[in-house]
Structure 1
Amino acid sequence: MTTAQQTSADIGEAPAPRLPAPEPLAGPDIEEADLADGFLAGDEACLEAAHRRWGPLVYALARRSLGDAKEAEDVTQLVFFAAWRGRSGFAPGRGTLPGWLMGITRRKIADALSARTRRTELVAAAGARLLLVAPDEAVSPEGAIDRVVLADELARLPAPQRRVLNLAFYDDLTQTQIAELTGWPLGTVKSHARRGLHRLARRLGTDERVDCAA
């Protein structure tokens, strides 16, 4: 499921039709003013024409800002989905349709960067939890980790890594306590923790390194 479809599902509305990958037109097939009027009136043909005409520009801006082709594709879809749903907010008297689309693009790029930062923070919080040496120093997992995201990703880990991280996150145990409970050497526990966190980092889409050596 794409990001745009997930967003529409979360709010309980039917998603806008998935648009094809943007391809520049050889030449304008409709005057910009007429396209804008049709778009504002809810003409889906004008939505598709706007996507063909300005989709490449939206994609290029997102690609340059995010440095990731897949994220840029998702942002492009989100921009036109948001524009279509919020088309009543477009006022031709205050600016052009492409200018309005660029404003939405900048906001969606900012949202994508914020989501990326959040994923990085999730992994950093997980690593910090494993480096704690005493239970009374622990930060509540509920306050540090998004359980919905984390539970799904933990389920994909190899069993030893999943067990170590589950004991750390949900049973609030330190690495030493995990070693005592499992009977594994402390070095083995640290190794499983490190590998598990690195896998989480990759799956959550962040390049941040997590140091679990302590």
Structure 2
Amino acid sequence: MTARRAAEQIVDRAPLRAPTEDSLADEELAACFVSGDEEGLAAAYRRWGSLVYTLARRSLGDAREAEDVTQTVFLAAWKGRAGFAPERGALGAWLVGISRRKIADALSARTRRTELAAAAGEWMSGLPADRDAQPEAVLDRVLITHELARLPEAQRRVLTLAFYDDLTQPQIAEVTGWPLGTVKSHARRGLHRLGRCLEESDARSR
């Protein structure tokens, strides 16, 4: 089992509300956490999980996203626990700092997804995209180049002709010799897969 998966399982099992028996002082809990003791991770989650969740919920306005960010914060803290320096502040404050960064990441990812959806929607509707938000520029900001290469050949060809050659769907149908309906189908499926790739990329970067 990987360290990440082990941490995920510990966080998943730990309730947000602290039980009455969880009476370790913050300094003791921090030492337990930094030592790599799994119980230290679970205890830290019980003690500060509600705080992290509340910060994320207030900033994101979405319960599911807040839950995802909360888990991401503790996974990041667990993986980077060697970087915690108690002389610089308490473990709770350190977790809040990580929370702010992960919340900012989530907000940025939401903006990038919105930009991609807007650009894709303009192209799918046959309307000219604004020159300041061309699909290729959006893709450059939100997708790793190789993600496009992972698509099936037909979907990749349609989206490449659209994004990089700036062709409309009827023009793509003419170039490829495919029916317009086929072009639209490949475009829809390709955009859907790219959206999933974006979400996976966001998850890996957390």
Unaligned segments of structure 1, at least 5 residues: 1-12, 134-138, 206-214
Q: Secondary structure at the match of 1:20?
A: helix
Q: Does 1:131 align with 2:127?
A: yes
Residue 171 (structure 1) shift: 6.0
Q: Does 1:114 align with 2:103?
A: no
Residues 119, 135 of structure 2: 8 Å contact kept:
no
Q: Secondary structure at the match of 1:15?
A: helix
Q: Secondary structure at the match of 2:4?
A: coil
User: When the two structures are superposed, what TM-score results if normalisation uses the length of structure 2?
Assistant: 0.64
**Residue 162 to residue 83, structure 1, CA distance change in 2 (3 Å):** closer
Residues 58, 102 of structure 1: 8 Å contact kept:
yes
Residue 24 of structure 1 is matched in structure 2 by 17
Residues 25, 53 of structure 1: 8 Å contact kept:
yes
Q: How big is each residue's C-alpha offset from its partner over 1:99-147, in whole Å with a ceiling of 9 and x where there is no partner? A: 11111101100011111111112223324554339xxxxx574x44236
Counterpart Cα distance in 2 of 1:164 and 1:131: 17
Residue 179 (structure 1) shift: 6.7
Q: 1:48 aligns with which of 20, 42, 50?
A: 42
Residue 96 (structure 1) shift: 1.3
User: When the two structures are superposed, what TM-score results if normalisation uses the length of structure 1?
Assistant: 0.62
Residues 120, 135 of structure 2: 8 Å contact kept:
no
**Residue 41 to residue 183, structure 1, CA distance change in 2 (3 Å):** closer
Q: Does 1:71 align with 2:65?
A: yes
Residue 9 of structure 1 is matched in structure 2 by none
Q: Which structure has greater helix proportion?
A: 2
Q: Does 1:35 align with 2:23?
A: no
Residues 162, 196 of structure 1: 8 Å contact kept:
no
Q: How big is each residue's C-alpha offset from its partner over 1:19-67, in whole Å with a ceiling of 9 and x where there is no partner? A: 2254212333322221112112222211111011111221121122112
Cα RMSD, aligned residues only: 3.9
Give aligned-pair identity as a percent: 55
Residue 149 (structure 1) shift: 5.6
Unaligned segments of structure 2, at least 5 residues: 199-206
**Residue 150 to residue 68, structure 1, CA distance change in 2 (3 Å):** farther
**Residue 88 to residue 162, structure 1, CA distance change in 2 (3 Å):** closer
Residues 39, 46 of structure 1: 8 Å contact kept:
yes
Residues 116, 135 of structure 2: 8 Å contact kept:
no
Q: Which amino acid aligns with 2:114?
A: T
**Residue 92 to residue 118, structure 1, CA distance change in 2 (3 Å):** same
Q: Which amino acid aligns with 2:117?
A: V
Q: How big is each residue's C-alpha offset from its partner over 1:58-80, in whole Å with a ceiling of 9 and x where there is no partner? A: 11211221122222222111111
Residues 126, 169 of structure 1: 8 Å contact kept:
no
Q: Which amino acid aligns with 1:117?
A: T
